[in-house]
Structure 1
Amino acid sequence: MVGVFFLIICWFRRTSLWKNKSKAQQDFEAILKSHGSLATKRYSYLEIKKMTHCFKEKLGQGGYGSVFKGKLHDKCPVAVKVLKETKGNGEEFMNEVASISKTSHVNIVTLLGYCFEGSKRALVYEFMTNGSLEKFIFQNEADLVEDNLQLSCEILHQIAVGVARGLEYLHRGCNIRIFHFDIKPHNILLDENFYPKISDFGLAKICPRNESVVSMLGARGTIGYIAPEVIYRNFGAVSHKSDVYSFGMMVLEMVGGRRNANVNVDDTSEIYFPHWIYKRLELDEDLALRSIRNEGDKERIKQMVITSLWCIQTNPAERPMMNKVVEMLEGRVETLQFPPKPYLFSPSRSPCPSSPSTLIP
């Protein structure tokens, strides 16, 4: 009798688990169907294990899971992102596959394949030799003894222009509009020549080309890069201008080589970096940044800073479109108008009404 009861319990648990997996599978297939057929290849979990040599070489790790280096059958190197099994119904995974598979641009990372097998989920990307931008701009002075990881102003400018072009494409260049909502150094990957590619579309929102405003139940993004309107809706509608804000904050960090919300000046107090750099420009003072080595560097950095300060205007309507941002970065610094002093929004000092789970660090 006990044996029969045990078999019934096992059958019930397996049936419930099958239903849950079936629901997730149905949701995924529905998303794929709603966005049309995908050219992206679907891999089995066994194939994922083979291409990563059983996950031998880890490239990085985050809240989403881990990234491993792998090789396809033709020996082409790839980066394989394996998501944690605790990601619920896999909404972010489905979102990423549906959005990034619709893109084709030199400044957007290429999704080569994916795996959706029960609770096993993985994404196969082109391999980017230099990894993320983050490791090149957030360094301690002790790490710069040989000065081999510090990017020149010319390279920083090249990266800023490339990311701007990628965002311009997402907002206006493809057959759907994609709002990324998580632009930050960690999500910018660099190839062997330091040309940038936007990655990680787990928080992206997709909408028709004729729409520019999206609705969201809660905030999404990473503290320090989130536009004010994404957290407090009375600042304005959530739109592509939210990505413009994040881009501006990121470029300021590239210029300063430090996180915007955690800068010590004269070892006296914590200063919000956009405040500090705006004041320097306002008083026409030397920016005194370690990356500046000649007059050409000064011009490039000033150009990036002025453009960034326009991008982080609190009112979304005052921020430029990304095509205008590209023009500002590629034009002459003398033609740039000095931005009005924005109400510089510091998330580190502002209470966030959204639950921590809606903010993806």
Structure 2
Amino acid sequence: MTTTTTVGTAGAGRTELAAVLLSAALLCAATPAMAQAAQPLEQAQTPAQQAVAAPQAAEQQVDESTAAPQAGPDEAAQDQAAAPASAASAAAPEAGASAAEPAAAGQAGAAAAAVQDAPTPGPRVRNRLDPWEGWNRKVFNFNEKLDENLLRPVATAYSDLVPQPARQAVDNFFGNFSDAWSAVNLFLQGRFKTGATQTMRVAVNSVFGIAGLIDIATPAGLEKTSEDLGRTLGYWGVKTGPYIVWPLLGPSSLRDSVTLPANIYYSPAYLFDDGEYKFAISALQLINTRANLLRVTDMLDGIALDKYTFVRDAYLQRRTIKTHKEQEEEDDYEVITPDEKPVNPQGDR
């Protein structure tokens, strides 16, 4: 019995070993067939999957070309299969760029059309009081150059060398002559009370102020009122007229230009017959006046966007005077100031 059982067990073990060896042999024989069957499945990928896998294949191709310059036949076949996909992916950005070019061209055309359709600036409106602005600006620029190169340096040197009290005395001297001419024009305007006050001012400064070198009338309460023949004509209704800029003489108007010879004739320089004294006094008056305006012109250069326009408007505003009729109309208005408080109709409660 024991021998029979041992023989049976040995036979069963041999049978199992033979079965295992047979299964291994069959598996080894089936492996090449499975590999050949998998190749058609890989080649049957859709074009979309190939397009997605194209960038990865390109990167792998670069890595492989860097790591192994010599590729095998299988790798060469894979590169040829990936080439169409990479060409398709490269063509996609070119198509996008070609589609963007018409859009950019359309935007450029729209911008050009907007520029053409934009309203063109109209002609500059001519100022009614400055019809000769083109000529006046040229003369103004000439005077500015002359002032910059000659008058301002001389006036600056004069201001630095001459003390302030001496410059003030010179200013008072010329101002006293201006007050005398103002008194004459106040009488010509029919403003006798103001003219008498101005005459008193000239007399006080001439006698007690040493020929006008010291201004005593202003602290005494005799206020200064400046008038000339141009403003006198304006008082009687003569319009200012167009604005004019004269060489060396500066801003003026048609009305003031007519009266300019008379205003110059009654200046301090014409008290002397000698030409040298006239020139010296005129030069001193000009330089002294320019020295008094140094700070004003420096400030004007810093704040005025258009200096010509600023000077013109300031001059025309200063030369405007109310006519005789306008002042009479203002005097006709009577101001009533009741002495008693108004009666409350409801009474105080």
TM-score (norm 2): 0.20
Larger helix share, 1 or 2 = 2
Task: Choose 1 or 2 for highest CA Rg.
Answer: 2
Larger strand share, 1 or 2 = 1
